[in-house]
Amino acid sequence: MGRCSKPIMGILLLCCFCLASISEAEYLKYKDPKQPINVRVKDLLKRMTLEEKVGQMTQIERNVATPDVIKKYFIGSVLSTGGSVPAPNASAEAWIQLVNGLQKGALSTRVGIPMIYGIDAVHGHNNVYKATVFPHNVGLGVSRDPVLIKKIGAATALEVRATGIPYTFAPCIAVCRDPRWGRCYESYSEDPDIVRKMTEIITGLQGDIPANSTKGFPFIAGKTKIAACAKHYVGDGGSAKGINENNTEISWKGLLSIHMPGYLAAVDKGVASIMISLSSLNGKKMHANYDLITGFLKNKLRFEGFVLSDWLGIDKITSPMHANYSYSVQAGISAGIDMIMVPYNYTEFVDTLTYLVKNNIIPISRIDDAVTRILRVKFILGLFDNPLADHSLANQIGRKEHRELAREAVRKSLVLLKNGKSAGKPLLPLSKKASKILVAGSHAQNLGYQCGGWTIQWQGVGGNNLTVGTTILNAVKQTVDPSTQVVYKENPSTNFVKSHKFAYAIVAVGEHPYAESEGDSSNLTIADPGPSTINNVCGSIKCVVVLITGRPVVIQPYLRKIDALVAAWLPGTEGQGVADLLFGDYGFSGKLARTWFKRVDQLPMNVGDKHYDPLFPFGFGLTTEPTKY
């Protein structure tokens, strides 16, 4: 064999050098899971075009999202609003197919940034058929049990992950100060300390933040956890006259003491994102409030997750809505909002924001800050390393352990407001062995009413075909002795009640489902025919009234006729928890986390007010001991 000539050797050396250079050039730090997150974020950010950055700041609704749209506009996030599903009664696999299909569109872009899919899993994975629906927050606040709340967060995270979704717009940590507000059931309490304690749901959703974590730095513990979103920053629960998206008038001291504590706790727990309120604060739209979003939340509290707008929040900066969109985009982005829930007209948002940056109206530094925060959360979530959904979790939807947890939550959320017309003659616990009992009321055999708003549909839906669960009537039938005859009549006449020899009656009445502005109420009455049902039944025989409501309602006019009164709030799918207490398998322990007014003209009225004169005060709740059968 002859030796290589010098020219050939030179060519070989040159080739080796070129190959090494190509290999080095192809090393992308942002794709290396061994690199620190901030290094990966910085490396990716410097490779991105303006169009790719603007795309990351854009969140669109599932109805307008396709793989091609995501690829063309580099869309960073997709959401399902209430009732926005792949198909009626969609399975976990159908959800996974939807999410993965859209994700593949994102991964096919030039730099392959995964999109993040978000959903309103606000009391369990409430959009999904057969999912466990937990009590709404208004009930959970009664428990004052952060350990229970954390378990609910963990169960919810598993069921959300079961559908391939890694992000929820929860928890709502509003401090509802007026029950006329249609979102009051999304609030744990009128008391900021209870709301602060209930932020423990964040550690259930995301995982326990490590002891050595940097303050404000988001943390998500792995594939069974999801990114949380504390909302609605800040002051939404103080909206004047309980009108949704109205103005909150309050001093700085009042804001810090009432509406801010939950956010301090959420940031300390490493919450991944915070959603801005559609309400105003002292006349200024929160979506345009630079001082509170950038000045306080980002700079003072050192929050390093991303800030999300609410639905059409940018459009609503002006009145009328969308009157000056260019100004609205400039105001919202400049205030510090990082991701915009558009949700439909994404081309207008993309074009407008791109124009504002190219013309130096919004500095590129503001865009880079927003995208840095979004990418940071995506890396922490593990989306870059495991972008597609894990099919092995699909069996977590509505699992038995989660339903048992929800049943426990129901038991701990009920408040016994009255027990007997005289102190020495309690009605509860009820006898399981009565010969014949009456169950009445529009809410006794209606799973949809029991679950309330934000269940399968945005506004909720009545009836028993929406999902799987146990109604109060069925729970009663499963609890009493087999020899007991249970008669159900939704709205019986007085003659009907008197013509049967009922030992007692259970009357379940309350509000019909609603969400947001649709629930704003100036009268807070029980829905018809509830009042007549109470009068007809409770005026004839011993009765316990179970109120299914999202807040305190007018009950004083009927109170004298009622033997026992239970506030069951919106208990969700596990109605068996109501029967557990009525029949003494467990004792009542819940204490009001809201003041129960006498008359609507007293509102707003909260514990500590000078004019405090409630029907049932904050913290009130009778107790019972379990019955040994």
Contact 353, 50 (CB under 8 A): no
| Beta-carbon count within 10 A of 625 CB | 10
Instruction: Report how far residue 51's alpha carbon sits from residue 166's, in angstroms, rounded to the nearest whole number.
Output: 25
Whole-angstrom Cα distance, residue 525 to residue 135? 21
What H or E segment, with its residue span, contains residue 451? Answer: helix 447-451
Euclidean distance between CA atoms 465 and 461, whole angstroms: 9
List the one residue out of 384, 273, 350, 354 whose CA is nearest residue 41: 384
Query: Which runs of E-coded beta strand occur in 288-414?
Result: 306-308, 340-341
CA distance readout (Å), 114 to 58, 108, 227, 340, 375: 13, 9, 15, 17, 9
Q: How far is CA 35 from the centre of its chain?
A: 33
Residues 6+ apart with CB under 8 A from 420: 426, 427, 563, 564
Reported in sequence order, the residue ranges of 77-173 that DSSP labels E, i.e. its strands, are 77-80, 116-119, 167-168
Choice among 145, 178, 310, 511 that is catalytic: 310
* Residue 168 CB partners (closer than 8 Å, separation 6+): 118, 119, 120, 121, 122, 156, 157, 160, 205, 226, 227, 228, 229
H, E, C per residue of 321-355: CCCCHHHHHHHHHHHCCCEEECCCCHHHHHHHHHH
With beta carbons less than 8 A apart as the criterion, state whether 340 and 314 touch: yes
* Cα-to-chain-centroid distance, residue 121: 5
Task: Report the greatest alpha carbon distance in the chain.
Answer: 117
- Give which of 390, 310, 353 is closest to 99, Cα–Cα: 390
Choose, from 190, 200, 304, 516, the residue flagged as catalytic: 516
User: Cα-flanking dihedrals φ and ψ of residue 512, to 5°?
Assistant: -85, 160
Residue 224 phi, psi (nearest 5): -100, 5
Can you tell me the distance from the alpha carbon of 371 to that of 529, in angstroms, rounded to the nearest whole number? 53
Nearest in space to 182 (alpha carbons), one of 597, 590, 446, 512: 512
408 is known as an active-site residue: no
- Among 93, 117, 94, smallest CA distance to 105 is for 117
| Active-site residue, 310 included | yes
Sign of the alpha-carbon dihedral angle for 38, 42, 43, 44: positive
**3-state SS record for 70-82:** HHHHCCCEEEECC
Q: 358: which 2 tokens?
A: 């190219």
Parallel/antiparallel/unpaired status of strands 229-233 and 77-80: unpaired
Q: What positions carry a catalytic annotation?
A: 310, 516
